[in-house]
Structure 1
Amino acid sequence: MSEIDFSLRFTLRRPYAYSETETQPNIGAVQRAYESDRGRIINSAAIRRLQQKTQVFALERNAAVRSRLTHSLEVQQTGRFIVQKIFERLGDRAADYQLAQFERAFESLVEMACLMHDVGNPPFGHFGEAAISDWFSQQLPLFANDFVNQNPKLYQDISHFEGNAQGIRLMYSLLNLNLTYSQIAGILKYTRAGDEPKPDASNNKSYLMKKVGYYASERAFVQQLWQQLKIPVGNRHPASYVMEAADDISYCLADIEDAVEKGIISLSALQQALMAEYAQQSQHFAQAHYRELMSQAIQYAADKSARIDINHTSQFFTFLRVKLIHPLVEHAANSFVDNIDAIFKGELNRALLEDNSHCHAITETLKQVARREVFCHREIEKLELQGYHIIGSLLQHYAPLLKLTSAEFMALVDGSSHKPLIATRLLHRLPQKHLATYKKAIKNDNDDVLPEFYHRCRLVQDYISGMTDQFAQDEYRMMQALD
């Protein structure tokens, strides 16, 4: 019998309602709790908004090109597939880890983590993240210098917007879905707080903490999560490793498929680029089969799709996925099982697929070709620049809310003042649920209470980052009329 007990990582406890003396619930109760989580997530506004958020192509009208929602659905399916393969590989050994009874529960956790993994992303993808970070980094010293000087760590937290951290904040603080600790832990991909420095490469958590995973505003919750799940501080939940692998497998092929659909690159040019890049990535493989894997997959997809007269390009990618995704899923599952002790502890300091294997070479090939042939295309760069400008301009328009003193702003919020006029009108445009989160935060009586201005910055970021691409563009056009 193994000393690893995965039952410790599965709980029905929720942040706002649980008993400190509650023992580990039975599997039926766990499954009912996760079904409840599933319903809360699927019916949330955060998931619905993904249908109008950028995957690669902003403001895309072609429904065949992926949005964040369609991408997340594909990640969800891949995550489910990986879990099934994990249990196939474990076989009877699943019982040794107290995991056999949790197969259905683990599959549900991973599926919903995959569906949620991008909910914190702002409009216009990574350029939206950069626009928010850059604006706060550059503008706060100009009108909030006292805050910056007195709170350098919180200034760092505010000026490093990260979609992963915003996802934790959205599901816990803003939407108040009260998901189980296990379910939220599935999207805690990185374990560094926004006000903590990035560790150097020699640190045993250098990968786990390479990006911001949560903000100072959610620190108490994340610490409680680690405590409730008996996960060492700074480590991951096992489900997050599977979610990450599913995302890596799904997006690296999807991005280049969308590029062909959009006419960014021709199918023949893509095939040549993939084979050339894989030849570079696989030079250190001695086995000829590994060195020829990409060309074999492309030839298989080309031959099979050539026999189908309808939608040749779409069929090509269907068969290419069969040849590439299946071995990637198998490899991710094998990597999970081979490192199950470190994964149970949450201390494996890398992604499941980043192991210098032939499967790692496949994902790197797909990513590098996408970076070189797709993301550097003039049309993509134009959309990114437009998105960056829209987000920066919106933040500039809402800056009057940040230039008020704490007393002035709180007077606007409680309705005891209606001046200045512009700030009043801007406040009225903010969603009530975001204002409710702000009010709750500033009334926090904990010893580690954060400054009011910090929560006000979060309030503005919550509003802007929660916009869809189309809403952000519409809001930008409306605000431009005020100039």
Structure 2
Amino acid sequence: MMTQTPPPLASYASDPRQTRGRLYAEDGTAERDAYQRDRDRIIHCGAFRRLQYKTQVFVYHEGENYRTRLTHSLEVAQIARSVARSLFLNEDLAEALALAHDLGHTPFGHAGEDALKACMDAEYQGFDHNAQSLRILTKLERRYVGFDGLNLTWETLEGVVKHNGPLTGPLAQAMAAERGKDLKPLPLAITEYATLHDLELDTFAGPEAQVAALADDIAYNAHDIDDGLRAGLFEEAALYDVPLVGPILKDLRQKHPDLERTRLVYETVRRLITAMVYDLLAETRRRLEEDRPQTVEDVRRNHRPIVSFSAEMVENDRAFKGFLFPNMYRHYRVNRMTSKARRVVRDLFTLFLQEPRLLPPDWQRGCEGVNHPRTARRVADYIAGMTDRFALDEHRRLFDPSVKP
């Protein structure tokens, strides 16, 4: 059976032969390059497996057909790899970054993160899922003899931290001002790691990380439409006047008036992904022609992202999310689930912070007593790593007298 030869890399792509290496030096292998090894380490780590039971909008037991963090990450990886191939970028690095981008998320999606952040913001230097991903990859995964974490390449760690753009410096300040916001202080995990391994936080990430970030947006839009319609949170007709998806639905109904609902949803999602990917490719090629980067360093130090949607698609995407916010993320059924999730996270955090001896023995190591900042960080690490199911079970074990501990 013949295998397809990957296309040659563009001069501005990330070349594994020119990687800046790993924090802890390792010998390479003849069979896999540096970014392939990064991807494989991510896939085999415990945090990646737990994504199977971490949800985004719905709590895991609400239904089998809704997206989890794992299925979402796989969808992002597929889109990222396809886009990277079309732009002659490194597919393996784009895939690795897509697979790693959600590792730091808490159970119960954004509701769980908001609750944990509120607990940590009080006096424990906050919680940020992106910084938590870095913490998992560089400290919390304990699999190797010579180091904690997965010891990934500089380019992969850079992409995890900076996939949404620079975090410090003039470019970061300009991007924050453009959004009408102040520049956020750096999360603790990123500050700590930057003292060991300079990820150049004042520049953009490489092009593969930029691709993975927008592949995440594409996958989000597609699966929110799919899950929202399947869950009955909104009806097809409510979408007719919504940018991006409305024209697709109306065209399908006009051409196929008797199309069954399942096929309608699938075809809508397929066309939505296609439209956004093609727009991304067209705008990125236009920027490549205008800015003419010759190396990956040119991409990092460019005055704007090289990989981007068009201005029209950005506006359409914003309007689309404006529909989803009240009709899906704030639907009363979702509100009930998120309220339950926040209570579970708050209860667990408060109890473990007051009684760290209730933590499993491995997690008690590193605690410094009641209400201590190190104890709070250890508790946050433990809760953030939970799946939806485990968090609910742990809450029952600790708060329901009828359940055995």
Q: TM-score range by the shorter chain?
A: 0.7 to 0.9
| Cα pair distance change 1:205/1:374, threshold 3 Å | closer
Q: Which residue of 2 aligns with 1:97?
A: none
Q: Which residue of 2 aligns with 1:237?
A: 206
Say if 2:65 is the partner of 1:81: no
Partner of residue 334 from structure 1, selected from 280, 285, 299? 285
Q: Which residue of 1 aligns with 2:4?
A: none
Q: What secondary structure, in the 3-state scheme, does the structure 1 residue paired with 2:134 have?
A: helix
Retained in 2: the 8 A contact 1:76–1:114? yes
Say if 2:316 is the partner of 1:316: no
CA distance in 2, matches of 1:210, 1:173: 30
Structure of higher CA gyration radius: 1
| Cα pair distance change 1:386/1:309, threshold 3 Å | closer
Q: Which residue of 1 aligns with 2:353?
A: 399
CA distance in 1, matches of 2:344, 2:197: 36
Q: Which residue of 1 aligns with 2:237?
A: 268
Partner of residue 171 from structure 1, selected from 137, 140, 150? 137
| Cα pair distance change 1:219/1:57, threshold 3 Å | same
Partner of residue 480 from structure 1, selected from 383, 390, 399? 399
CA distance in 1, matches of 2:117, 2:201: 30
Query: Counting helix residues as a fraction of each chain, which structure ranks higher?
Result: 1
Say if 2:321 is the partner of 1:367: yes
Q: Which residue of 2 aligns with 1:99?
A: none
CA apart distance, 1:461 = 0.6
CA apart distance, 1:374 = 0.9
CA apart distance, 1:210 = 6.7
Q: What secondary structure, in the 3-state scheme, does the structure 2 residue paired with 1:203 have?
A: helix
CA distance in 1, matches of 2:15, 2:185: 25
Partner of residue 15 from structure 1, selected from 23, 36, 61? 23
Retained in 1: the 8 A contact 2:159–2:206? yes
Partner of residue 116 from structure 1, selected from 95, 100, 104? 100
CA apart distance, 1:118 = 0.7
CA distance in 2, matches of 1:51, 1:109: 22
CA distance in 2, matches of 1:118, 1:366: 22
Partner of residue 299 from structure 2, selected from 344, 354, 367? 344
CA distance in 2, matches of 1:30, 1:346: 32
Q: Which residue of 1 aligns with 2:161?
A: 188
Structure 2 letter corresponding to 1:315: Y
Per-residue Cα deviation, 1:333-360 (whole angstroms, up to 9, x for no partner): 33662556486225555694466x2221
Retained in 2: the 8 A contact 1:53–1:469? yes
CA distance in 2, matches of 1:192, 1:340: 20
Structure 2 letter corresponding to 1:165: A
Q: What secondary structure, in the 3-state scheme, does the structure 1 residue paired with 2:106 have?
A: coil
Structure 1 letter corresponding to 2:393: D
| Cα pair distance change 1:260/1:238, threshold 3 Å | same
| Cα pair distance change 1:294/1:174, threshold 3 Å | closer
Retained in 2: the 8 A contact 1:166–1:214? no
| Cα pair distance change 1:178/1:308, threshold 3 Å | same
Per-residue Cα deviation, 1:195-238 (whole angstroms, up to 9, x for no partner): xxx989993463799776964344353355436xxx46454333
| Cα pair distance change 1:482/1:210, threshold 3 Å | farther
Structure 1 letter corresponding to 2:158: A
CA distance in 2, matches of 1:9, 1:307: 54
Q: What secondary structure, in the 3-state scheme, does the structure 2 residue paired with 1:219 have?
A: helix
CA apart distance, 1:379 = 0.4
CA distance in 2, matches of 1:311, 1:164: 35
Retained in 2: the 8 A contact 1:165–1:213? no
Retained in 1: the 8 A contact 2:171–2:303? no
Q: What secondary structure, in the 3-state scheme, does the structure 2 residue paired with 1:206 have?
A: helix
Q: Which residue of 2 aligns with 1:471?
A: 390
Per-residue Cα deviation, 1:220-272 (whole angstroms, up to 9, x for no partner): 53355436xxx464543332211111111110232122110001111122224
CA distance in 2, matches of 1:226, 1:321: 38
Retained in 2: the 8 A contact 1:124–1:387? yes
Retained in 1: the 8 A contact 2:54–2:107? yes
Which runs of structure 2 are paired with 1:103-182 in the superposition (5 Å)?
Answer: 103=89, 106-138=90-122, 140=123, 155=124, 158-159=125-126, 161-175=127-141, 176-182=149-155
CA distance in 2, matches of 1:173, 1:265: 42
Q: Structure 2, unaligned stretches of length 5 or more?
A: 1-9, 142-148
Retained in 2: the 8 A contact 1:86–1:336? no
Partner of residue 456 from structure 1, selected from 360, 375, 379? 375
| Cα pair distance change 1:67/1:17, threshold 3 Å | same
CA distance in 1, matches of 2:396, 2:286: 49
Q: Which residue of 2 aligns with 1:152?
A: none
Per-residue Cα deviation, 1:348-380 (whole angstroms, up to 9, x for no partner): 55694466x222123223211111211121001
Per-residue Cα deviation, 1:381-414 (whole angstroms, up to 9, x for no partner): 111111111100111111224xxxxxxxxxxxxx
| Cα pair distance change 1:70/1:202, threshold 3 Å | closer
Q: Structure 1, unaligned stretches of length 5 or more?
A: 20-24, 88-102, 141-154, 279-292, 402-422, 443-451
CA distance in 2, matches of 1:248, 1:211: 22
Retained in 1: the 8 A contact 2:23–2:153? yes
Structure 2 letter corresponding to 1:244: A
| Cα pair distance change 1:263/1:37, threshold 3 Å | same
CA distance in 2, matches of 1:184, 1:213: 19
Instruction: State the aligned residue count.
Output: 377
Say if 2:53 is the partner of 1:52: yes
Calculate the TM-score normalised by the size of structure 2.
Answer: 0.79
| Cα pair distance change 1:205/1:55, threshold 3 Å | same
Structure 2 letter corresponding to 1:479: L
Q: What secondary structure, in the 3-state scheme, does the structure 2 residue paired with 1:182 have?
A: helix
Structure 2 letter corresponding to 1:221: Y
Say if 2:45 is the partner of 1:37: no
Q: Which residue of 1 aligns with 2:176?
A: 206
Structure 1 letter corresponding to 2:251: Y
